[in-house]
Amino acid sequence: MIILHTIAEIRRYVQEQRMGAKTVGLVPTMGYLHEGHLSLVRQAKEHCDVAVMSIFVNPLQFGPNEDFDSYPRDLQRDAALAESAGIDVIFAPSVDEMYPSGNGKSLTHVDVEAVTDTLCGANRPGHFRGVATVVTKLFNIVMPDKAFFGLKDAQQVVVIQQMVRDLNTPVEVVPCPIVREPDGLAMSSRNVYLSDDQRVQAMVLSRSLSMAVERVQQGERDAEALISAVRAMIEEQPLANIDYVQAVSLRDLTPLQTLDQPALLALAVKFGKTRLIDNIVLDIQR
């Protein structure tokens, strides 16, 4: 496995692979890898001849009061983990390499409307603009055949899929299932921020989603009633501070009153300063 830091180097590497008629899979990450990322690497290796991982904490997708500076970074640890999962090359550019005009800013942005208005988009203005812009850059740099994204960031997957359709981006987006800790907590690089108490109470997130799935299986179709039950269960944990709990259409993320179609039940909850997200697909037939 090799680690490359410049755009010119990764372009040359990928071009050489293409000359050998190899297909290329990209796993875009912000590093501080966990089992969720590694499952994406395994998917990439299953689908493609060569698996490229980008590791880049993208300043453009962080708000001014968010955790860009403190976001955990450890390239050496990441490289060892990625290699163990079978990655072929890591592309780990500097902020200046990705945003050469300085200060981590860009005059050009990719904006996706509508599907960015709800869920995390409502509370993190500019976040998905930063995501869509850096993903476009990474696609243009690596030119992968397929790109692998985890469904923990379900809205991100929907946004990228919308962007790829609208801009005719020649990349196949492959969504991959959420990977969870044995006790149910969705894997996240931000889990390391949690205190012991917060970590225990955060188990309520996946538990509340499982409860919701059961309710739906028992026939619940009223979105408000379902959301209230989830909120009530989370609020039993004194350290939990709900950002949102929403039931939206899986297709276009518009809020649902009645659960009469495939839906996404998504939530964001703060424990102290740490904001965790989780979600589950409600497989409801029309």
Is the CB of 117 or the CB of 224 nearer to a copy of itself?
Answer: 117
For 219, residues 6+ apart whose C-beta sits below 8 A from its C-beta are none
Shortest distance (Å) from residue 136 CB to a copy of itself: 5
Quick check: 4 and 92 in contact, CB under 8 A?
yes
Flag whether 189 is marked binding.
yes
What CA–CA distance (Å, rounded) separates 88 from 49?
9
Q: How far is the CB of 159 from a copy of itself (least distance, A)?
A: 9
CB of 139 to a copy of itself, least distance (A): 9
Does 127 count as an annotated binding residue?
Answer: no
27, 34, 71, 243, 274 from 31: Cα distances, Å: 11, 9, 9, 25, 18
84 assigned to a ligand binding site: no
Nearer to a copy of itself, 166 or 183 (CB): 166
Residues with active-site annotation: 37
Residues that bind a copy of itself (CB under 8 A): 7, 11, 101, 106-115, 132-133, 136-137, 140-141, 143, 162-163, 166-170
Q: Check if the beta carbon of residue 112 is closer than 8 Å to that of residue 136.
A: no
Q: Which of 40, 134 has the CB closer to a copy of itself?
A: 134
- According to the annotation, is 17 in a ligand binding site? no
Do 88 and 27 touch, CB atoms closer than 8 A? Answer: no
Query: Which is nearer to a copy of itself, 43 or 136 (by Cβ)?
Result: 136
Judge whether 274 and 239 are in contact, CB under 8 Å: no
Is residue 190 marked as binding?
yes
Q: Give the torsion sign (CA, 57, 102, 63, 254).
A: negative
**Smallest separation, CB 133 to a copy of itself (Å):** 7
Tokens of 40: 């994406």
| Residue list for the binding site for beta-alanine | 61
| Residue list for the binding site | 30-37, 61, 150-153, 156, 179, 187-190
